[in-house]
Amino acid sequence: MSRRCELTGKGPMTGNNVSHAKNRSRRRFLPNLVDVSLSSEQLGRSFKLKISAAALRTVDHRGGLDAFMAKAKDVELSPRALNIKKDIAKAAATTATA
């Protein structure tokens, strides 16, 4: 399983460990990923996702999973999250027409 946020696409970065003597060795900076289950009000169910802590704050700030997915870019989302976004959009369209 890759260490990548399913909602924002945030992944590992590389850099240097720098000692006091300025010796440099390569290292990886891993994102702070958490397993959460987010509920969709449009679909009436919850989804288990592996997302970064920053993405979790953004979901809360925007008002939930449905609002986040409405503004999310398709290229940043994982294939599973993209399917969730399409399902939410379909449900929103059927409620808007009814």
Q: How far apart are CA 52 and CA 56, in angstroms?
A: 6
Q: How far apart are CA 77 and CA 6, in angstroms?
A: 6
Across the chain, what does the average pLDDT equal?
95
Confidence of residue 33 (pLDDT cuts 50, 70, 90): very high
> What are the tens digits of pLDDT across the range 75-90?
999 999 999 999 999 9
> What are the tens digits of pLDDT across the range 35-65?
999 999 999 999 999 999 999 999 999 999 9
Q: How far apart are CA 31 and CA 45, in angstroms?
A: 27
Quick one: 13-97 is in which CATH superfamily?
Answer: Ribosomal protein L28/L24 (2.30.170.40)
Domain boundaries, the chain: 13-97
